[in-house]
Structure 1
């Protein structure tokens, strides 16, 4: 099963529970100031699943106030987006640019880089949360502000897809092996990207550059979901999204690679993870290559050597031998 860190307030003396909870949130999210009317005997529990770059966690706690101040941001900023599904309870988030109220089955979107106050209410609050590094979903600061605090329902559309994934994962982590961690991360990241793209495209009055960034996010999510397709090319991607190939290339001018190079890099990274997975050691290298869009083993070997300076066979041998 997936490794998980579990905290229960009952495991700590009543006098230490609130401080311990504050410290725990500082490690799993970011340092915050917390206030609660129940601080003398705070009741809370939390389970944290580490998916590598991405973290998923569930929490149940008594009402409190979370505050992320400019001083705390200067001291420590993990540069991450925080998405939280409200399962039970209610609350509100206050930023300089927006104030939003939340009820059960709303999605709460926050940023570790923006000062905010988050208020929770109810006899007991329950959430399922997700932390995604901003590096996986690059957005200019002014556009990120349009997403943070945006009201999102988890009962329909992209919000429902993301909520379903999170609740299923946290409900049964035993169904997954530790080797599934990077695969689960590559599943949830496109869901978040697609949700962000949907939010950015929702307003007709948004400036052209915002619509352009939303389209780029949607295309990147599409690419991640179709890496296995050997026919995934710039021309087919452009056709699916009803744009010209030249415009697609312009969208990727601000990325660190061309469209084709971006696809190749993601495919190579996915194949390398599978080659290093002990559970897949009996799967032939050519089969793993084909799974990730390299139907010709020679092409895969050549691309792998060019990118990493070693052959797929040597990489597998070194990774599996090192893990023994």
Structure 2
């Protein structure tokens, strides 16, 4: 591209391949960047290298989102600063982190950068790891342990994935998700019995989300264990049970705001266990970057 058009091309290309982003306009002359974008089943793999820049995803960009996604960002060269969900990190070469497309985020590149981004439907991740929304912006080393296994797989996937026959893409993507979950799930000393027990708790919660009284004590009574055991099981997974219930209720409300466009916001909130509409609106905005009414209107 001619030098005067290079940065504007980059601004458009970022939004075309990484969801919508707001990169400020500027006159930078030469701007070096390159992309490789591949669709891979339900996922997308983006490789890019570029000169220093910065940008953000705010309410206008989030409102254009068609399907909630998680981005898995892996740095090959350079470093990137990120801010989301009240956390600020600097991601170095050889490390990776998870970010959430439904929440505001800022990024900055102080120098030249090379990276791989794996975009995944949120449902595919949370089905395997329900506490994934609480694990964003946690740097993970891709140079040792479980992180190294995933990083090696991701580099190979970015290099060879586009050439795989379509019939192989789904099973390879499932293996990719399994490796990702193994890499980002907090370490916990638990066996098959504890994992099965936590799965029973999650099933009970999802079947009773509309009960305003739902909490650790009610769950413990239904499962036949103590409330203390319930708290310990969920804390080992990296998130409290109360917070997990809160996230599941917000997600159900988000889905129903679109599925029932004529229902009152308060009606939907009360149906999914919220007892105060003002509290619900604040919680929804904190989680998704817009109020429930703005979310529905923008869709």
Q: TM-score, normalised by structure 2?
A: 0.60
What is the CA distance between 1:248 and its match in structure 2? 4.2
What is the CA distance between 1:149 and its match in structure 2? 0.8
- 1:105-158 Cα distance to aligned partner (Å, 9 max, x none): 110321111111111122x2100110111011228xx95453111121111222
* Aligned residue number for residue 157 of structure 1: 145
* Aligned residue number for residue 121 of structure 2: 133
> Does the C-alpha gap of structure 1 residues 247 and 16 become closer, same or farther in structure 2, counting only changes over 3 Å?
closer
RMSD between superposed Cα atoms in Å: 2.9
What is the CA distance between 1:98 and its match in structure 2? 0.7
- 1:72-127 Cα distance to aligned partner (Å, 9 max, x none): 212335311111111111121112511101111110321111111111122x2100
Q: Which one of 236, 249, 259 corresponds to residue 200 of structure 2?
A: 249
Report the Cα distance in structure 2 between the residues aligned to 1:23 and 1:136, rounded to whole angstroms: 28
Q: Which one of 33, 50, 65 corresponds to residue 39 of structure 2?
A: 50
Report the Cα distance in structure 2 between the residues aligned to 1:244 and 1:112, rounded to whole angstroms: 28
Report the Cα distance in structure 1 between the residues aligned to 2:37 and 2:18, rounded to whole angstroms: 11
* Aligned residue number for residue 108 of structure 1: 97
> Does the C-alpha gap of structure 1 residues 92 and 170 become closer, same or farther in structure 2, counting only changes over 3 Å?
same
Q: How many residues align?
A: 205
Is the counterpart of residue 41 in structure 1 residue 26 in structure 2?
no
Report the Cα distance in structure 1 between the residues aligned to 2:170 and 2:133, rounded to whole angstroms: 28
Query: Larger relative CO (CA 8 A, sep 6+): 1 or 2?
Result: 2
> Does the C-alpha gap of structure 1 residues 148 and 180 become closer, same or farther in structure 2, counting only changes over 3 Å?
same
* Aligned residue number for residue 248 of structure 2: none
Report the Cα distance in structure 2 between the residues aligned to 1:120 and 1:159, rounded to whole angstroms: 23
What is the CA distance between 1:32 and its match in structure 2? 0.6
Report the Cα distance in structure 2 between the residues aligned to 1:253 and 1:44, rounded to whole angstroms: 49
Contact 2:95–2:141 (Cα < 8 Å) also in 1:
yes
Report the Cα distance in structure 2 between the residues aligned to 1:242 and 1:126, rounded to whole angstroms: 42
Q: Aligned ranges for residues 196-215 of structure 1 at < 5 Å? A: 196-198=184-186, 201=187
Contact 1:95–1:116 (Cα < 8 Å) also in 2:
yes
Is the counterpart of residue 87 in structure 1 residue 76 in structure 2?
yes
Report the Cα distance in structure 2 between the residues aligned to 1:246 and 1:105, rounded to whole angstroms: 35
Contact 2:74–2:115 (Cα < 8 Å) also in 1:
yes
What is the CA distance between 1:171 and its match in structure 2? 2.6
Contact 1:65–1:119 (Cα < 8 Å) also in 2:
yes
Report the Cα distance in structure 2 between the residues aligned to 1:67 and 1:167, rounded to whole angstroms: 26
* Aligned residue number for residue 60 of structure 1: 49
Higher Cα Rg: structure 1 or 2? 1
Q: Which one of 158, 164, 168 corresponds to residue 170 of structure 1?
A: 158
> Does the C-alpha gap of structure 1 residues 66 and 77 become closer, same or farther in structure 2, counting only changes over 3 Å?
farther
Q: Unpaired segments of 5 or more residues in structure 1?
A: 1-11, 205-214, 216-239, 257-324
> Does the C-alpha gap of structure 1 residues 244 and 65 become closer, same or farther in structure 2, counting only changes over 3 Å?
closer
Contact 1:46–1:59 (Cα < 8 Å) also in 2:
yes
Contact 2:140–2:184 (Cα < 8 Å) also in 1:
no
Q: Unpaired segments of 5 or more residues in structure 2?
A: 208-299
Contact 1:37–1:64 (Cα < 8 Å) also in 2:
no
Report the Cα distance in structure 2 between the residues aligned to 1:90 and 1:68, rounded to whole angstroms: 19
SS of 1:50's equivalent? strand
